[in-house]
Amino acid sequence: MIHRPPARRLPTGGLAALGFKAAGLTAALATACLAAAAAGATEGGLPIAPLRLLASGGVLFSWDGVSTDLRPAPAGLASGPLGFRSVLPIDAGRALLVEPAAVPAGKQKEKKTREGEAVVLGLGETGAERGPVVPFEGLPSAAAVSPDGRRAYVLAWRGDPGGPGARGWLHAIDVDRGALADSSLLSSPAFGLATDAAGTRLYVGLRDRIQTYGAEPVRVSWQYRSPGVNGPIAVSPGADLLAVGRGSEVALFDAARLAATGAEARHSRKDDATTVAAVPFAVTRLTWAEDGSLLAAIGDGGLVFIDPGNGALLWPASTSIDFTNATDALVLEFPGSNHDLVVAVAPRGSVSALRAPAASAPAPAAARLDEKPAAVEAIAVGAPAAPPVAEPVPEPVAAAETPSGPPAHDPAPEPPTPTPAADPQPGADQEAAPQEESEPPRLRGHVNGRGAKTIVLYGPNNILKEATRTTVQEDGTWSLDLPAPGNYRIVAIGDGSTPIPVVPSFRTVTVRPGIGESGIDFEVRPAP
């Protein structure tokens, strides 16, 4: 059990404000601290500030809700190896710590090495207690938690991208059972992860696309085209609006606007973003206001707000936040437009507050401040500030994947306002958008490299029976009509006489009636 010293009793009312100001807090921060204290537990009718754990650059901090500085994490939490660390709030008394695991000497090269771990923490007013530990394969790089706190999701990778034996996973963790619930192999390095507001869909940032997954079970689904490296991802709590950091720009994907665009407009573009905002730094964190009225973009010693209504950049009117020598910024409180934002800068851990600007449009009706919407945890990639550029690594041999299908309203890009997305570039559309309802569903993919001439399907439910085949186009793309339902093995071959080094050697797909699938890709590697 956690040893809990006598409760810290906080002053209330006007005395509280005077106490905060005497301690050197700005008026805005004093107001925010009072709100945080009012939301905490009580003892004897007086509020107790709850302990919060935060992570930056692999280092853990704690915040009591009232101080102007972050403090070192409680004893017992700083013993993990260096590397990516993330703390995901579960509920008022628990959090999930995702970090590298201590791998015993001589075990690093074993096939089932668990390089990462998720630890359920019990939180007290001044301390934390390590609970169940969930080990998983690969080193963690990003994490997110479902709005109800039941499931956590982790991106993990093993080996150097492009190197021998490199592979990645999207792990699902059952928080209540303290166990690994599901895993799905990644086809290439991933840089960002978030859940939707309902907790039923996951968004994974890859190179040149944002791949969606069904949450339970974790299975690949449709995707957005998004050029470049897609890093930190955040989903608005008040609308189906996705924000993605792409280096020094922030791309917004509005599902309602996409669904209203026709097939011709969609297929003429390479970017499904409805709005693209350029910012003067590389984006490392994205945080939505609790009411969904504003988006805060952070990176390289700067912070700017983005108005989702018109895509405009809104700079803070106050300079109370000192970003000198800062490597990161952690948003502690962000109620909404025209409210106070409380932020801590790392590594020094100073806490400041400023007034968020007014948005061009009111918050969505479903997410007003007084309705307190469920929070969506979207944790950005921990390091580096700009995710490394790497060629996609093919998916290892995996069990059959069941696509969860496209959304009810099939997304399609709309010309953004006011900032247009990039004009389409010459070449084939390697990452197809979700299928139009008016089009027959198909299987689609791409072969990177030369030598593959034909795609062969074996099945259904029989790896020796050929079902159909199709020709690989000159640009590497291939597609074919949806076959009968069942499990299929998909193989890329050459001219039939000379073996070619294709990775992976085959892909397994489960076909369901009326549901197409894209992203069934292969790579032809040079002969050793």
Please write the tens of the pLDDT for every residue from 83-142: 889 999 998 889 999 999 987 666 555 667 889 999 999 888 777 888 999 999 999 999
Are residues 158 and 145 in contact, defined by beta-carbon separation less than 8 angstroms? no
The stretch 404-431 carries a mean pLDDT of 39
> What's the pLDDT score for residue 80?
60
Cis peptide before 460 (omega within 30 of 0): yes
410: closest CA among 209, 261, 204, 219?
Answer: 261
> What's the pLDDT score for residue 304?
93
| Better-scored residue on pLDDT, 78 or 428 | 78
| Better-scored residue on pLDDT, 199 or 371 | 199
> What's the pLDDT score for residue 43?
45
Q: What is the pLDDT of residues 425-466, one digit of tens each?
A: 433 333 334 443 446 789 999 998 888 999 999 899 887 788
Average pLDDT, the chain: 76
SS3 305: strand
Strands 328-333 and 313-314, by their bridges, are: unpaired
> What's the pLDDT score for residue 250?
97
| Better-scored residue on pLDDT, 131 or 526 | 131
> What's the pLDDT score for residue 441?
85
Q: How many residues does the chain have?
A: 528
Measured CA to CA, the distance from residue 336 to residue 236 in angstroms comes to: 12
> What's the pLDDT score for residue 162?
74
> What's the pLDDT score for residue 129?
87
SS3 164: coil
55: closest CA among 125, 153, 183, 142?
Answer: 142
Percent of the chain with pLDDT over 90: 38
Neighbours of 358 (CB within 10 A): 12
- Paired tokens of 264: 């011709």
- pLDDT class of 472 with cuts at 50, 70, 90: very high
The stretch 77-82 carries a mean pLDDT of 66
**H helical segments located in 402-489:** none
Highest-scoring range by mean pLDDT, 99-108, 119-128, 184-193, 365-374 = 184-193
For the chain, which domains are there? 7-49 (no CATH), 50-378 (2.130.10.10), 442-524 (2.60.40.10)
- Paired tokens of 79: 């013993």
Q: What is the DSSP string of 329-393?
A: EEEEE---TTSEEEEEEETTTEEEEEEPPPPSSPPPGGG-GGG-PPP-EEPPP-S-SSPPP-PPP
